Structure 1
Amino acid sequence: MTRHLPFARRARLLVVAGALLLASAPSAASATGSPAPGHGLSTPAVTFVPAATLPSEALRDLNHPVPLDEYRPDTGAAASTLAPRATRSAVAAGNEQTDLREQCTKHREAAASKGWLKSRFETCQHRPFDLVVRDMRGTQEIGRLWFDVWVLGFATDGARRVDFVSSIENIRVQTAPGSGADARNWTVGQYFSHTSGSPSGDPSSTVTPPKKESRDELLGAWDKQPQWTLTYTSPDAGPQWSKGNLQLVESLIMTELTVNAPDVAPYNQVDAYHSNVRFDYAGPIAGKHKGTVFTEGRAELALSLKDPAVNESAQHILDAQKNPERTFPSWPGKSVPGAKEPLHRLIDTKKQEANREKSISECTKVWGNYSGTPLQCDEYPFASTREGSNKGDNRYSVRLIDGADNETGGRRLNSVYTANRILDGDPFFVKITS
């Protein structure tokens, strides 16, 4: 049975990982039906190809998927001899997994490609595969394989840990009668890999992988036990944040998927799935003193115009985002970030105070002395962001609003910081709803 050499696989993964880390956005996954390095000098005349690359007439006799345990190689699992049954998920999942799966299904398009990020702590991929075994010399379709890949990711707020629950499930097959093909000899392989590094270049920043990062088995083994779990952790040296050491570790965790059969050129999906993960021990600024996040997850402060506790803050932010030229300071062509262009958290308290002083000065210039009133100077972007008023580009707005409203808005912002482990420089957005 054809197999990938470990060295060849690791070399490809390192190349892809390097490209992903350098790129500004994740690249599209690559798939090929040609053999990978290490498979010998001869190329099998039979290969796996995606069904989507073939014309519909080529698939006319291979469009009757049958669950693996109903498959009969002598008949090719023809629909006329075997009654099809409902597709199934053989994974018994807990409430957390079930909930993420249900939500992932509602985001089908994103989940089927790069994966869908529910938050900075949950991500998922649900990707269907449909492959055809084809004789390239005679352009004869010999068999077909359908299966679903699920990857659920759970980062931990409170521990330097991330878990991936992966499965190959809903396996269905069909082979052409008389072809001699036996789908029971086909295998699927999942190979996880990871990188580790620190923004500060600390060589002690490492990721501890699970004992088993790969699984390559016959379809029958996957059908009986579709699910497996991988846990990645990062060791810590105890609280060091007071010394300026947040023990940041960044990791790219990715998978390669292969499909093999005897005397068949394998199918290989190098970047089948990947996640960017960050481990930290940032202390109280992050809420729970240590934790892990998916860095591409979206963090958002949402305020409602209908919420009496923050409706003045919400209206000010909405005006700044939608009609910035009507806000103060006023100048032609003014734009204020936060809706589509993210804000970035600022931890430096001296710089935060400089933002507040600049904003209060602007409020006083426009409205005069408001001391002794219940009003406060509301600023957007917030003083605790790098886009605050003292940045120097005048892309900000100030307004006098009710003091209690202003303070409640500030507490809501701090809750978003800690609930999402937003550290210095991390992006987030602000959304106003009616």
Structure 2
Amino acid sequence: MSAAAALAMIRRFGKAIGMTERSAPFQQTRLARCLVVLLTLLGMAVISAPAHAAAGNDLAFVGPDYPISSAARKTLVANMVALRSRPNRAALAIPDVAALRSACATAQGAANVKPVGWVRSRFEQCLYQVGAQAGGIVVRQQTGEPAGEIHFNLWILGVASNGTREVQYHIFVEEISVSTIPGNVIDWPNQRIAFDFFGCAAMTDVTCSADSHVDTVDGWARDSGQVITVTSPNGTGVGPDAQVTKSLGLDLTLGSLPIKPSIQPSIFTTEVRFDSGRGVAAQHGTVFPRYLPSFALSMSDPQIRDSALHIYDAQNRPERTFPAWLGKSVPGKTAEDPLHRMFNEALKKDNRAASIGFCIDTWGPYDETGLDCDEYPFASTQEGAVTGTTDPQRPRSSARLIPGDDNQLAGSRLGAFYSNQRVLDTDAFTVNITP
């Protein structure tokens, strides 16, 4: 089968399933790869799946990918040559990027797991793969025979903004090493490394500064860093908080003819939410919603000790709380049973009134005592005294009289937490009480 005939078959099949020329490049590539496998199973001569258009590779005839022999593997290891690699100093001068990179380097257990890596906070996500974890990519001749291998350190650092509807993804390819199996010729400096960003194509509510970043091995070695900025217009999106949530990601393509392009799909995936939210100080912002924020209080803090102790008892010793009932449990401690913020003012008042009723029923009137009726879960959550109750005889909440200044300061800190973490209506969070 000729290259033209195979490409025509790919396009006809794509049209049959509703794919067009405007479909995202990563969708077209994966379709092509599936057809390559299908045609191979049918015993036909096939062409390679096309690399993304940005990589600039033409289609070429190939055979199956042959495994590397143990002897060739030993040769690759013995012949590995390190290329000069220089980190992007301009990017590393950005405090948020430098801080995330430093933290990511020490979190290898989470940060090196593709494709998500480590979502460090509401505003930070990173993937860090060292040597063979990231590279370790075998390059092949058009026949499918192994020709060499490339290793590199890969950093992908995502930094979201609490103040603008923008997120930046910084890509670094560093510490590049290459090796060639004797008998092969590879123009390593001019082999292309392309990162194709998917998820932005044909979108009106999200714009990407680039669909891809492509450079030669030599280019990445001289200046390892690139950045892709994703933005969403203010006020665009769903609901009163104008939310736009997108799943984005990166495909990696390596190789330039006559080397057979190697495609590594979805080496990194990310979910990002843009909003113009109510109930937060910065009107516009962006978060990584995979991260579950946690409101932290300490029982060692004398200013809010009673608030913290009340929540600790509710979460860990509910038998010490009121209303009391056998087998009582109170939510908010774990990701499996979190709290959810609630904006509905009428329901907040209902939650507050119910908690005050519990306090009066248990301790009597307290107007002249200087005490406040503290409620947990908070009245501003869906798990409050009314909104979180399905059985009025068994409310999963607690009310307790504590000093007024303690209660009010803890409430002020809760409001700051909501704002700083961009916790919007229905957003989940946990409460963490430390000694």
- The corresponding residue for 1:80 is none
Counterpart check, 1:372 vs 2:368: yes
What SS does the aligned partner of 2:360 have?
helix
**Matching residue's letter, 1:306:** S
Q: 2:159 aligns with which of 147, 154, 163?
A: 154
| TM superposition shift of 1:44 | 3.4
Task: Label 1:14 to 1:428 Cα distance change in 2 as closer, same or farther (>3 A).
Answer: farther
- The corresponding residue for 1:22 is none
**Matching residue's letter, 1:60:** K
CA distance in 1, matches of 2:146, 2:207: 44
Report Cα offsets for 1:354-381 as digits up to 9, x if no partner.
0001111111112222221122111111
| TM superposition shift of 1:270 | 1.8
Counterpart check, 1:173 vs 2:173: no
TM-score (norm 2): 0.78
Aligned residues with identical type, % of pairs: 35
Task: Label 1:178 to 1:270 Cα distance change in 2 as closer, same or farther (>3 A).
Answer: closer
Asked whether the equivalents of residues 164 and 229 of structure 1 are also in contact (C-alpha less than 8 Å), the reply is: yes
Report Cα offsets for 1:157-196 as digits up to 9, x if no partner.
1112111211222211111233333433432110012259
Q: 1:68 aligns with which of 83, 86, 105?
A: 83
Asked whether the equivalents of residues 345 and 385 of structure 1 are also in contact (C-alpha less than 8 Å), the reply is: yes
What SS does the aligned partner of 1:296 have?
coil
Asked whether the equivalents of residues 329 and 362 of structure 1 are also in contact (C-alpha less than 8 Å), the reply is: yes
- The corresponding residue for 2:33 is none
| TM superposition shift of 1:424 | 0.4
CA distance in 1, matches of 2:404, 2:29: 54
Aligned pairs for 1:422-433 within 5 A: 422-433=423-434
Which aligned segments of 4 or more residues in structure 1 are displaced greater than 6 angstroms? 2-6, 54-57, 135-138
- The corresponding residue for 1:213 is 211
| TM superposition shift of 1:265 | 4.0
What SS does the aligned partner of 2:326 have?
coil
Asked whether the equivalents of residues 343 and 381 of structure 1 are also in contact (C-alpha less than 8 Å), the reply is: yes
Aligned pairs for 1:139-150 within 5 A: 142-150=147-155
Asked whether the equivalents of residues 303 and 431 of structure 1 are also in contact (C-alpha less than 8 Å), the reply is: yes
Counterpart check, 1:43 vs 2:43: no
CA distance in 1, matches of 2:142, 2:74: 17
- The corresponding residue for 1:116 is 118
Asked whether the equivalents of residues 29 and 49 of structure 2 are also in contact (C-alpha less than 8 Å), the reply is: no
| TM superposition shift of 1:259 | 1.6
| TM superposition shift of 1:141 | 5.1
Asked whether the equivalents of residues 184 and 220 of structure 1 are also in contact (C-alpha less than 8 Å), the reply is: yes
Asked whether the equivalents of residues 112 and 127 of structure 2 are also in contact (C-alpha less than 8 Å), the reply is: yes
Asked whether the equivalents of residues 318 and 432 of structure 1 are also in contact (C-alpha less than 8 Å), the reply is: yes
CA distance in 2, matches of 1:368, 1:298: 38
What SS does the aligned partner of 1:286 have?
coil
| TM superposition shift of 1:237 | 5.0
Counterpart check, 1:91 vs 2:88: yes
Give ranges in structure 2 of 5+ residues lacking alignment. Answer: 12-19, 31-46, 52-57
- The corresponding residue for 2:284 is 290
CA distance in 1, matches of 2:240, 2:201: 17
Task: Label 1:12 to 1:237 Cα distance change in 2 as closer, same or farther (>3 A).
Answer: closer
Asked whether the equivalents of residues 46 and 264 of structure 1 are also in contact (C-alpha less than 8 Å), the reply is: no
| TM superposition shift of 1:42 | 4.0
What SS does the aligned partner of 1:262 have?
coil
Task: Label 1:271 to 1:8 Cα distance change in 2 as closer, same or farther (>3 A).
Answer: farther
Q: 2:221 aligns with which of 223, 230, 248?
A: 223
Task: Label 1:136 to 1:281 Cα distance change in 2 as closer, same or farther (>3 A).
Answer: closer
Report Cα offsets for 1:318-341 as digits up to 9, x if no partner.
111112233222223322111112
What SS does the aligned partner of 2:125 have?
strand
**Matching residue's letter, 1:99:** A
What SS does the aligned partner of 1:395 have?
coil
CA distance in 2, matches of 1:286, 1:147: 41
Q: 1:130 aligns with which of 129, 133, 136?
A: 136
What SS does the aligned partner of 1:316 have?
helix
Asked whether the equivalents of residues 259 and 268 of structure 1 are also in contact (C-alpha less than 8 Å), the reply is: yes
- The corresponding residue for 2:24 is 10
CA distance in 1, matches of 2:261, 2:23: 13
TM-score (norm 1): 0.78
What SS does the aligned partner of 1:62 have?
helix
What SS does the aligned partner of 1:292 have?
strand
**Matching residue's letter, 2:83:** L
- The corresponding residue for 1:319 is 313
Task: Label 1:172 to 1:103 Cα distance change in 2 as closer, same or farther (>3 A).
Answer: same
CA distance in 1, matches of 2:182, 2:332: 61
Asked whether the equivalents of residues 35 and 265 of structure 1 are also in contact (C-alpha less than 8 Å), the reply is: yes
What SS does the aligned partner of 1:379 have?
strand
Task: Label 1:296 to 1:56 Cα distance change in 2 as closer, same or farther (>3 A).
Answer: farther
**Matching residue's letter, 1:119:** S
RCO higher in 1 or 2 (8 Å CA, sep ≥ 6)? 1
Asked whether the equivalents of residues 45 and 135 of structure 1 are also in contact (C-alpha less than 8 Å), the reply is: no
Counterpart check, 1:253 vs 2:248: yes
Give ranges in structure 1 of 5+ residues lacking alignment. Answer: 17-33, 70-87, 198-202
Asked whether the equivalents of residues 255 and 274 of structure 1 are also in contact (C-alpha less than 8 Å), the reply is: yes
What SS does the aligned partner of 2:149 have?
strand
Asked whether the equivalents of residues 250 and 279 of structure 1 are also in contact (C-alpha less than 8 Å), the reply is: yes
Report Cα offsets for 1:214-271 as digits up to 9, x if no partner.
1233211211222111212112359x99xx7322222222111112243444332221
Report Cα offsets for 1:45-64 as digits up to 9, x if no partner.
557x8xxxx79776322224
What SS does the aligned partner of 1:386 have?
coil
